[in-house]
Structure 1
Amino acid sequence: MATTINQARTSIFKMFNGEPRSYTRFNLAQNSDADSSQVEMKLSSDVDDEVGNPEDGQARVTYTQSPLRTYKNICYLALGTLVVFILGYLVGYVSHRKPDVASAACPTVPTEEGQDEGLEVAPLPRMNWNDITNLLEQKLSPSAFSTKFSDFSLPRGVSHEAGSDGDNKLANKVLGVFKDLNMKSWNDEHFVKLPHPSSDNPNKVIFGTEVIGTTKGYLAYSEVGTATGRVVYANYGTLDDFLYLDKKVEVNSSVLLLRAGNISFAEKVANAAKYGAVAVLIYPDPSNYNFAGSTELYGHVHLGSGDPYTPGMPSFKNTQFPPARSSGLPTIVAQTITADIALKIFQKMGGDPAPNSFKGSLGTPYKLGSVDNVVTVTVSSTLNETAIHNIFGVIKGNEEPDRYVVIGAQRDSWGPGAAKSTVGTTVLVELARAISEMTRNDHLSLRRSLVFASWSAGEYGSVGATEWQEGYLSSLNMKAITYINLDGVVIGRQKFKASASPLLYDLLQKSLKQVKSPFNTGKTLYDDHAASNWETSILEAMKMDDAAYPFMALSGIPSISFRFCGEYPYLGTTLDTFDHLQASTSYKYAELAAAAANVAGQMALRLAHDHLVPLDVARSGTEIRKKVTDINRRVNQLKNALGLNSTLAKGLSVQWLNIAIGSYGRAARDLQYTIDNSDLENMEMRRIINDRIIKVEHNLLSPYVSVRDVPFRHILFGSGCHTIQTLLDHLDALKQNAPESDADLFRNQFAWATWTIQSCANDLAGPVWEINNEI
């Protein structure tokens, strides 16, 4: 600053006292006119060179200036000098001021009373990632959870079912917390059809002419009516079980007795219908469920998600839709029974002994059933249009608020729902509280937004979550970048399991490395599995009854579910209480909930905080390549089986598919090159790169099937004729010349898979002028 002031002073001195380098000579001559003075001006030498010196005898350039104008010029000169001085002072102040390195989120430190305000105070440092994770861990400590679970549980005997007064009370409580945290919050209402058993005509089972049981437990969305047939024991009802029974007993027109577990209720019933059964009875075998034989089971049998009577469409109030049914609804009656009722049936059954793999622990011989064993099943229920409420709260980002991470948990349950809903809802709310406080009080700044969602009607097949997606599919595209599911995050303590999109594998691994293990002091959750391949020991396939599944398979949003698990047989029963949860977790459920919250929080904050969205595009390509390799292998097997001269073998080439996966690999490498050689401080460049990353999962939704008829369009994780798994199964059917095989359909499936992968690769490559379409 001093240097600048000195320069200004020198300039002023030269202006008044110094002789300039180039000047004008003034020859003053007294004018005969006393009222004015005449000034003869000769141009300086520089100007003379430009315009030419006047010859002798030529007129000189003269100016006549009044005294008043002279005074004005002097005033202007003084004013200009003052302006130069002020500008010089300001330039010096700014140029010599220390740079402000604190972010906008970090306030200046106030001066204490009596402190010299002229002294410079060091600004607060920007929060780094370690500061963020440490602060999150402090706010999500076990002590913070131990007193919070009771806030989102209801008194014994009060219903938690979707649309009930208890469910609505919990919804208002969650909404109130979001409002108290000054979050933008709202209530999204849907009107859905939910089935309930008839109180006047209970569901019942008759063996011969004897009524051997009625039950309060039920399977939502079962076909209503009465069915009669010979009873056949079919173990878990898997496809392998039916392949065994094909050689032993006639399944067509039978009533199947199945034990719960292994696969979902909906899959059991769908398999039974495929093999021609007319009814299904499902019971909890003591070998899988160590509770009283009178315990009722609850569940649903919709092979899908959402309201099955508005497939592919949202269930808003007064929306007029033609009558419709989801293709995932069963066409046969299905009912749960207690272990006590199942025991009575087994004791009356004849037929061949069941194989050892079919045997459970009822304490009676397990038989496959005889022709004379006739059972009648009656299912009575009514469909009621029910208002359900999804509750939302948002913490807005500062740079890309229109992109957000969705974190959700189911709020309803068949019974008390301690593990099913209460823990997840508590983790959701406490995570929202912790991050809100970090942004408000600890100056955490997020680039993207976080949306916290409390879903209703989760027990009926993620109805609330799916209806929200169906209502806002276009709004979620390119905006919702990840879904983190908190349902059932604590149901035991023996192991940690996760199911996720491959795009999230790397992020999960990094998060596990930073979250302390609740099992081993001084270690992380990753250390607990470091002795073996962490992916093999932790990762598992995502199932259709997972609440994260529709986000990935329907909406194309990278999704993840995870949980601490063990032997916890109480889900879907009225025994899902905190007493049982405490016993199953060795009274460590608060510590486990805190660890689960930290895993979810670390992932969410990374996704909302980092310059680039941390989705692993290359890893997704690896998983696609594995599937393509499997297709190549089976195509070669098919050609060998059919013979090289067969029509199908001649016309079948994997070249296009191989080129498509090659295009994806090149696009992923090009993206990494762009990242490595770009200025990531440039907001526009970050936006362009993030666009390429975010669209990968969505571009794996097949464009060749209707979302109404085939909602789960993802070629890797969806269901339907468009998926790569169906393509692989069809290759096996063609090889065996199975009656269901269809060469023309297969060619279409092959083309659909190829062009879906190629289209994904094209978009990942960037602008259209960057695409090298070699096909």
Structure 2
Amino acid sequence: MFRRHFLTLLCACPSTWALSPDAVQDLLLRVPNPDKIREWSAYYTKESHLPGEGLDQGQWTKALWRDLGIPEINLTSHEANLTYPNNHRVALLDFNRPDVLVHEAHLIEDTVPPVGEGQKPFIPAFFAWAGVGNVTTQHIFANFGLREDYEDLVKANVTVKGRIAVIKTVFGSSLLRDLHMGVHRQEQMKAAEDYGLAGLIVYTDPQLDGEITEFNGYNAFPDGPARPPSMIERGVMTFSGSTSTVPAMPISFADAIPILQALNGHGPLATEFGERWHGGGLGYKEVQYNVGPSPAHVAVNLCNQPTFTRGHLHHVIGTIPGSTFPDEVIMLGSHRDSWGPGAGDGSSGPAAMNEVVRSFGVALAHGWKPSRTIMFASFEGLEFSLPGTKNWFAENPWLNTSAFAYLDVVSAGAGSKFHVQGSPLLGRAMRYGTGLVQHPNSKEKNQTMLDVWGGQVSLGTGGDGSVIQSTALVSTVDLGFSAGDGDNPFPYHSLYDTDDWMDRFGDPDRKYHLTTTKIWSLAVFALANDTLIPVTVNEYAVLMRKALDSIEMPGLDLTTLDQAISHLHQITLAFDEYASTLSRQISSQPDDPGLLLKAKDVNQKYIAIERHFADPQPPPGASRHLIIPRAPYYFQSSAFPALHQSIVAGDLSVAETYRDRIVGRIHEVIELLHLDDSGTTLSQPLKQWAVSLNPDKA
């Protein structure tokens, strides 16, 4: 039923193609090939491709897309601040010993993927934009390094300020998900700065991996699926691209063991604190998880002295011009750069996108043309906090009034858990795509991804979409498969994220990659092909109503926000009905120029909606979006991010300011949806609402 209804809308487009919408749809389902995905991944993962190292891969991608039939392709270069490893050390010292040195961390995995002659070697681990320094002092164990963890230590009379804290990574923590405490390294770093830490050491605890650990009898990769003891999770420490103040280094859990063992018997045990502290996975290695501090004669030396340089990032932009609305743009993209080989994170997205490109190239060869322009973007620079994407958007201001959507994929097949995260304006297109693609593991006949996913776009964003949505305010969605409960541990941001791992334990048949590819292609097809962009605006009002019900702060009056959301709910229902009626009219009269002008007006309102939710005075480095948080798929996120932050901080005055800003932006959207370009109303009830909200414009 859903498919038939959507295809009816698709058929409302001017009939200028050699292929029918049904034929294009079937082609997008048929063309993607798992062997091709494997081939593209093998190329991208064969050598180091950190930000700034991507020229060769950019040139290769450009040539490939040309061969696949994309008519317009550009390779653009952007100068940016870059950072690379130079002088780094994490060492455990005992000044009561003659030789002092107890243990020195290796800072690179035991198994480094080989590269061919003339190819760039993979590098030792470090954190981008961590504080620069060389410090030696006593250390403590601070659990996940959250503000709540440091508060627990302070209450237990454990000195935090001036110490080096050893903390666990937060990526993929089911415990934090269960406690609704999704965080990023940036929050760990900010907490360390605020509590006066001298340094930060971050390791990946087997606690993250559920049952699939060495302790439970599983062999470590490459001999089995368990996390390798020498695996190191690299990453960026700030979103701003500027250096933080606290030196920090990542290490493996193998190198964390002697450092944590040095705390045995010193200070309270982690089990003496709350649930958040429980469950460390290194007990079988004689780690007791005492919090310390270490004895006065035992210290850690932490050195983080990277190289800073100016370099160039390279983006590949492919374009299929629209036939009816060429100035309306649907974008899709991924980032090529990676901390290691990146078979799961950094290369699975580009590998899948090449198959999307190939599919659309075949459609073009058969005479198909989209109604609006499609842009493919292969970005470089995300892993160093997205400097390239920011620069590219700044140099293309025309996108501010033309780009409606950006569909992003970072991890096309790094696990079995499917996510769709972003703007509710893209929910309808995503339901269309997922409704036509079979679930790769379904035991039920004809079970689609929509049946499994459920059709609800969750909050947040990911990849390059995080900067596009939070700064350019383009409607964005991030989709793909990531590690879920019970999956083999994903070697995130490490040198073990290889095609070999993917072939053995990740996605051996590339069935998850293939599923992502098909959904991606179909969602773009839906957005680019229909005369009216397929949007249900009321989904935004539903999202806000649900978010409002979860807000609690003594003294914060939410009456005006409640009323504004109620008004938005009613006007979006009316606007959706108007758009549906217009779609039916176009279906019966597809060549009527008057109806096409009305369609263009509706589409321009869809393009503008997200921009109206901009914060007029965002704090430095903060998201401009007042409704959708800048948070990747593994976070627990809430709508109204700035408002929630002020509530968490207990600042009523700031909370009232953000409440009023949100109300003001909702009123703007109500007025936008009420008026067409000529200033005439869509209906009398809508006019009455506009007057009630803005009496001076009556």
User: TM-score surpassing 0.5?
Assistant: yes
TM-score by length of 2: 0.79
Tell me the residue number matched to 1:9.
Answer: none
Amino acid at match of 1:295: M
Greater mean alpha carbon deviation, residues 218-227 or residues 175-184? 175-184
Q: Does 1:163 align with 2:52?
A: yes
Amino acid at match of 1:170: Q
1:371-420 deviations in whole A, cap 9, x for unaligned?
63543321111211111111111111101112111111111222222122
Q: Does 1:517 align with 2:439?
A: yes
Question: Which of residues 154, 157, 162 is equivalent to 1:246?
Answer: 154
1:705-748 deviations in whole A, cap 9, x for unaligned?
37xx245111122479x9834434544655xxxxxx3x543432
Q: Structure 1: how far apart are the matches of 2:291 and 2:578?
A: 63
Q: Does 1:205 align with 2:91?
A: yes
Unpaired segments ≥5 residues, structure 1: 1-100, 107-125, 309-324, 640-651, 735-740
Q: Structure 1: how far apart are the matches of 2:505 and 2:436?
A: 26
Tell me the residue number matched to 1:482.
Answer: 405
Q: Does 1:179 align with 2:66?
A: yes
Question: Which of residues 250, 253, 263 is equivalent to 1:339?
Answer: 253
CA drift of 1:580 comes to 0.6
Tell me the residue number matched to 2:372.
Answer: 448
TM-score by length of 1: 0.71
Q: Structure 1: how far apart are the matches of 2:402 and 2:529?
A: 15
Q: Does 1:717 align with 2:628?
A: yes
CA drift of 1:148 comes to 4.2
Confirm or deny: 8 A CA contact 2:409 2:463 kept in the other structure.
Answer: no
Unpaired segments ≥5 residues, structure 2: 1-12, 108-123, 174-182, 210-225, 632-637, 682-686, 694-698
The 1:470/1:227 distance shift into structure 2, 3 A limit, reads farther
Confirm or deny: 8 A CA contact 2:207 2:281 kept in the other structure.
Answer: yes
CA drift of 1:186 comes to 0.6
Confirm or deny: 8 A CA contact 1:491 1:568 kept in the other structure.
Answer: no
Question: Which of residues 350, 353, 369 is equivalent to 2:292?
Answer: 369
Amino acid at match of 1:478: T
Q: Does 1:188 align with 2:76?
A: yes
CA drift of 1:600 comes to 0.2
The 1:729/1:481 distance shift into structure 2, 3 A limit, reads closer
CA drift of 1:173 comes to 0.8
Q: Structure 2: how far apart are the matches of 1:475 and 1:102?
A: 26
Aligned-partner SS, 2:88: coil
Aligned residues: 590
Q: Structure 2: how far apart are the matches of 1:526 and 1:430?
A: 19
The 1:295/1:674 distance shift into structure 2, 3 A limit, reads closer
CA drift of 1:333 comes to 0.9
Tell me the residue number matched to 1:563.
Answer: 480
Q: Does 1:219 align with 2:134?
A: no
The structure with the largest alpha-carbon Rg is: 1
Tell me the residue number matched to 2:571.
Answer: 667
Question: Which of residues 576, 584, 590 is equivalent to 2:497?
Answer: 576
Tell me the residue number matched to 1:127.
Answer: 20
Q: Structure 2: how far apart are the matches of 1:731 and 1:145?
A: 46
CA drift of 1:622 comes to 0.9
The 1:182/1:300 distance shift into structure 2, 3 A limit, reads closer
Tell me the residue number matched to 2:635.
Answer: none
Tell me the residue number matched to 2:111.
Answer: none
Confirm or deny: 8 A CA contact 2:613 2:662 kept in the other structure.
Answer: no
Confirm or deny: 8 A CA contact 2:227 2:489 kept in the other structure.
Answer: no
Question: Which of residues 523, 535, 548 is equivalent to 1:615?
Answer: 535
Amino acid at match of 2:312: A
Amino acid at match of 2:505: S
Confirm or deny: 8 A CA contact 2:38 2:351 kept in the other structure.
Answer: no
Question: Which of residues 667, 682, 692 is equivalent to 1:774?
Answer: 692
The 1:624/1:432 distance shift into structure 2, 3 A limit, reads same
Q: Structure 2: how far apart are the matches of 1:763 and 1:563?
A: 33
Q: Structure 2: how far apart are the matches of 1:257 and 1:450?
A: 47
Confirm or deny: 8 A CA contact 2:427 2:455 kept in the other structure.
Answer: no
Confirm or deny: 8 A CA contact 1:207 1:345 kept in the other structure.
Answer: no
Confirm or deny: 8 A CA contact 2:200 2:249 kept in the other structure.
Answer: yes
Q: Structure 2: how far apart are the matches of 1:331 and 1:360?
A: 28
1:652-674 deviations in whole A, cap 9, x for unaligned?
65443233223322331331232
Amino acid at match of 1:602: L
Q: Structure 2: how far apart are the matches of 1:732 and 1:264?
A: 17
Aligned-partner SS, 2:398: helix
Amino acid at match of 1:105: W
Amino acid at match of 1:297: E
Tell me the residue number matched to 1:552.
Answer: 469
Confirm or deny: 8 A CA contact 1:700 1:757 kept in the other structure.
Answer: yes
Q: Structure 2: how far apart are the matches of 1:572 and 1:407?
A: 23
Q: Structure 1: how far apart are the matches of 2:43 and 2:254?
A: 36
CA drift of 1:222 comes to 0.8
Confirm or deny: 8 A CA contact 2:34 2:509 kept in the other structure.
Answer: no
Amino acid at match of 1:203: R
Aligned-partner SS, 2:344: helix
Q: Structure 2: how far apart are the matches of 1:173 and 1:496?
A: 30
Amino acid at match of 1:449: T
Confirm or deny: 8 A CA contact 2:127 2:235 kept in the other structure.
Answer: yes
CA drift of 1:244 comes to 2.9
CA drift of 1:599 comes to 0.4
Q: Structure 1: how far apart are the matches of 2:147 and 2:663?
A: 29
Confirm or deny: 8 A CA contact 2:137 2:299 kept in the other structure.
Answer: yes
Tell me the residue number matched to 2:168.
Answer: 259
Q: Structure 1: how far apart are the matches of 2:227 and 2:557?
A: 55
Q: Structure 2: how far apart are the matches of 1:528 and 1:662?
A: 30
CA drift of 1:586 comes to 5.5
Tell me the residue number matched to 2:336.
Answer: 411
The 1:764/1:274 distance shift into structure 2, 3 A limit, reads farther
Aligned-partner SS, 1:197: strand
Confirm or deny: 8 A CA contact 1:217 1:296 kept in the other structure.
Answer: yes
Amino acid at match of 2:500: D
Correspondence 1:286-685 to 2 at 5 A: 286-288=206-208, 290-304=226-240, 308=241, 325=242, 329-349=243-263, 350-355=266-271, 357-362=277-282, 363=285, 364-370=287-293, 372=295, 373-441=298-366, 443-472=367-396, 474-492=397-415, 494-520=416-442, 522-526=445-449, 529=452, 535=456, 540-542=458-460, 546-566=463-483, 567-585=488-506, 587-589=508-510, 591-631=511-551, 634=552, 638-639=554-555, 653-678=557-582, 679-680=585-586, 681=590, 682-685=595-598
Amino acid at match of 2:55: N
Greater mean alpha carbon deviation, residues 332-341 or residues 665-674? 665-674
Aligned-partner SS, 1:173: helix
